[in-house]
Amino acid sequence: MREQQIPQENQKPVVIIGAGHSGVAVAAGLRTRGWQGRILLLDAEKETPYERPPLSKELLKAGAPDESTPLRKEKFFQDKGIERLAGLTVESIDRPGKAVLLSDGGRHGYHRLVIATGSRARALSVPGANLPGVLALRTRDDALELKRVLVPGAQVAIIGAGYIGLEVAAAAAARGCKVTVLEFQDRVMSRVTSAPVSRFFENVHGQKGVRFVFGAAVTAIEGTDRAEHVVTADGARFPADVVLAGIGVIPNQEIAEAAGLHCKDGIFVDDDGRTSDPEIYATGDVTHFTSRIDGQSQRLECIQNAMSQADSVAAHITGQPTSDPEIPWFWTVQHGVRLQTAGVRHPDDDVIVRGTPSEGKFSVVYLRNGRLSAVDTVGGLSDFRPAKKLIARAAEIDPSLAAEPSISLTDAALQPSL
Amino acid sequence: MSNNKVTVVDREGATHDLEWEPDQSLMEALRDNDLPVLASCGGTASCATCHVFLEKEVFETLGERSEDELELLVEAEGYQECGSRLSCQVDFSQNLDGVTVTLAPEG
Ligand SMILES: Cc1cc2nc3c(=O)[nH]c(=O)nc-3n(C[C@H](O)[C@H](O)[C@H](O)COP(=O)(O)OP(=O)(O)OC[C@H]3O[C@@H](n4cnc5c(N)ncnc54)[C@H](O)[C@@H]3O)c2cc1C
Ligand code: FES
């Protein structure tokens, strides 16, 4: 596999914008696949590319080192001849000239361009959102800033009960902060999971002193020199020394849009990661694509997608076949309890609870037209791998067998009729 | 501490000799030496793409597998009770110099 013939054109540079999970995986994947041309990896952030999941999990813990977990060691990039330009922003793409233009005035020509610019935290758009003390979490700097203010006794208001908000809530509670989570919906993580899982995690958080306010529409942040209160539509005021907004992300697609690439909510890419310009690829959080598994048009914000699209891009650039699509999956850890999801659930899927939530370990199985579409595993991973395989073959499931945790999920599936 | 030497048998049966550096987990040593180990979860015992087989004698010198690790492994292709490990959960140790590591099948 590694003794590929390198075509002549491979001498030309691949320029990758963004050294997050996806950009780094493209660079590494190109080398693994035998690419011998130049690879330029550009990122606005200065430091060695790092993992984002630990930012809201390990890094915020009391006593945890401030270091981020590198995606690859600095030496890896040198050894592989991957040139990194760090601390510079790509300001525009010159498609006719096949070059990117940098914030320092630099210009780099590309043979193939990969846009892996990820996403950014959606900013609160209410009066007072710019006050000091109102934070978001996307980068290591964000995490360190947050870590400094999560001191014992601090009143922390978290806006949005998505997984980032909840991971921060857990970290803050563990550090002795007084945590209130304000959520517009009527339960936590409503976008990604079903009510039984939401209720379970609400309980876990509740036992650690985290307070939830549902149906809360935040209308303002008040304070003189810094945030002091969060105000909601019903007039309630919640005291807060720290406000964390965890209200979703926005794809960093502006340079692609300005260059005329087809974008909507994300940059449109095909199965090989190609944009509407065949010499430009995009990968990771910034993309919008049609799922090869269920035909769904979607944007995913998870490591799995960042890695697997990166692999397709590296394969296509080197002229190798792409792997079969992987079932999307995701994990979050809150108060030491892991939720791991395989597949993408729809709100109107049938919901089957497998096991007893009060025992701290259970799964929830989602069926669409009788076929397995997604599984949430809580506090255990036994169902995770079988679920991925069954989802991949859109297995029909016997609901009563699936509800019985002593029967393996695989045995709850009807055999494929060929 | 000096590097360990490791022999890796890949999924096609070909062998590769590589250096395992003290600050790497076994997964990192494999991944950073271009072996096809996706390691999508970054070493948090979530994805199981770093599944390897160790020789029984070597396996037995290592500590217990965590519950998460075991639950992922038991459902993995070719699971070996006394050999399967998630390589991201195997830290460098001088005792592991000269070992042979076999990449487990994908899936
Ligand atoms: C706190 C936190 C916890 C998370 N936990 C999990 C988890 O447990 N599991 C999971 O699956 N996912 C998790 N995610 C989501 C996951 O991190 C993302 O899906 C993943 O990082 C996407 O990778 P990416 O390469 O597309 O984008 P990113 O990792 O965001 O990388 C994009 C990079 O592009 C750079 N960039 C952007 N624009 C430019 C420009 N114009 N010029 C130069 N550089 C630019 C940025 O600086 C950034 O470094 C988490 C995210 C956060 C923030
Ligand atoms: S790297 Fe994901 S389980 Fe080891």
CA distance A347 to A129: 31
Domain membership of residue A308 (yes or no) is: yes
Do A101 and A181 belong together in one domain?
no
Do A232 and A301 belong together in one domain?
no
Q: What is the pLDDT of residue A295?
A: 86
What sign does the CA torsion over B78, B82, B88, B89 have? Answer: positive
CA distance A143 to A137: 6
Do A297 and A361 belong together in one domain?
no
Domain membership of residue A214 (yes or no) is: yes
CA distance A407 to A278: 48
All residues of chain A having their beta carbon less than 8 Å from the beta carbon of residue B72 are: 381, 384-385
- CA of residue A305 to ligand 2 center, whole Å: 15
Q: What is the pLDDT of residue A11?
A: 67
CATH classification at residue A194: 3.50.50.60
CA distance B20 to B101: 12
Q: What is the pLDDT of residue A8?
A: 43
Identify whether the C-beta of residue A330 lies closer than 8 Å to the C-beta of residue A340: yes
| A308's tokens | 């697997």
| A230's tokens | 């969060």
Q: What is the CATH number of domain B4-103?
A: 3.10.20.30
Interface test with B, best of A283, A329, A332, A381 (most B CBs within 10 A): A381
Nearest CA to ligand 1 atom 53: A138
What would the mean pLDDT of B36-41 be, rounded to a whole number? 89
Report H helices in B1-106. Answer: 26-31, 56-61, 67-74
Amino acid at A417: S
Task: Name residues whose C-beta falls within 8 Å of residue B98's C-beta, 6 or more positions apart in sequence.
Answer: B4, B5, B6, B7
Q: What is the pLDDT along chain A (418 residues), one digit of tens a residue?
A: 444 444 444 468 999 999 999 999 999 999 999 999 999 999 999 999 999 999 999 999 988 999 889 999 999 999 999 999 999 999 999 999 999 999 999 999 999 999 999 999 999 999 999 999 999 999 999 999 999 999 999 999 999 999 999 999 999 999 999 999 999 999 999 999 999 999 999 999 999 999 999 999 999 999 999 999 999 999 999 999 999 999 999 999 999 999 999 999 999 999 999 999 999 999 999 999 999 888 889 999 999 999 999 999 999 999 999 888 889 999 999 999 999 999 999 999 999 999 999 999 999 999 999 999 999 999 999 999 999 999 999 999 999 999 999 999 999 999 765 5
Buried b / exposed e over A132-152, threshold 16 CB at 10 Å, is ebbbbbbbbebbeebbebbee
CATH classification at residue A356: 3.30.390.30
CA distance A140 to A266: 24
Domain membership of residue A325 (yes or no) is: no
Mark yes or no for CB contact B75/A380 under 8 Å: no
Domain membership of residue A338 (yes or no) is: no
Do A116 and A7 belong together in one domain?
yes
pTM for the whole structure: 0.95
- List chain B domain ranges: 4-103
Buried b / exposed e over A209-236, threshold 16 CB at 10 Å, is ebebbeebebebbebeeebbbbbbeeee
All residues of chain A having their beta carbon less than 8 Å from the beta carbon of residue B76 are: 385
Mark yes or no for CB contact B75/A386 under 8 Å: yes
What sign does the CA torsion over A62, A123, A139, A333 have? Answer: positive
The tally of domains found in chain A comes to 3
Domain membership of residue A331 (yes or no) is: no
| Pocket of ligand 2 from Cβ distances under 6 Å | B 27, 39, 41, 43, 45-50, 86, 88
In angstroms, what is the C-alpha Rg of chain A?
23
A165 CB within 6 A, ligand 1: no
- CA of residue A344 to ligand 2 center, whole Å: 21
For chain A, give the number of residues: 418
| A333, A335, A338, A343: CA torsion to nearest 10 | -60
Do A188 and A287 belong together in one domain?
no
pLDDT at residue B107 tops 80: no
Q: B42 and chain A: CB distance < 8 Å anywhere?
A: yes
End-to-end CA distance of chain B: 35
Do A139 and A105 belong together in one domain?
no
Q: What is the pLDDT of residue A416?
A: 67
Where a domain ends, among A189, A215, A247? A247
Residues of the domain holding A242: 134-247
Closest CA to A394 of A330, A325, A348: A325
Q: B41 and chain A: CB distance < 8 Å anywhere?
A: yes
Complex ipTM value? 0.91
Mark yes or no for CB contact A385/B75 under 8 Å: yes
CA distance A309 to B43: 19
Backbone angles phi, psi at A108, to 5 degrees: -130, 120
Domain membership of residue A93 (yes or no) is: yes
Q: B16 and chain A: CB distance < 8 Å anywhere?
A: no
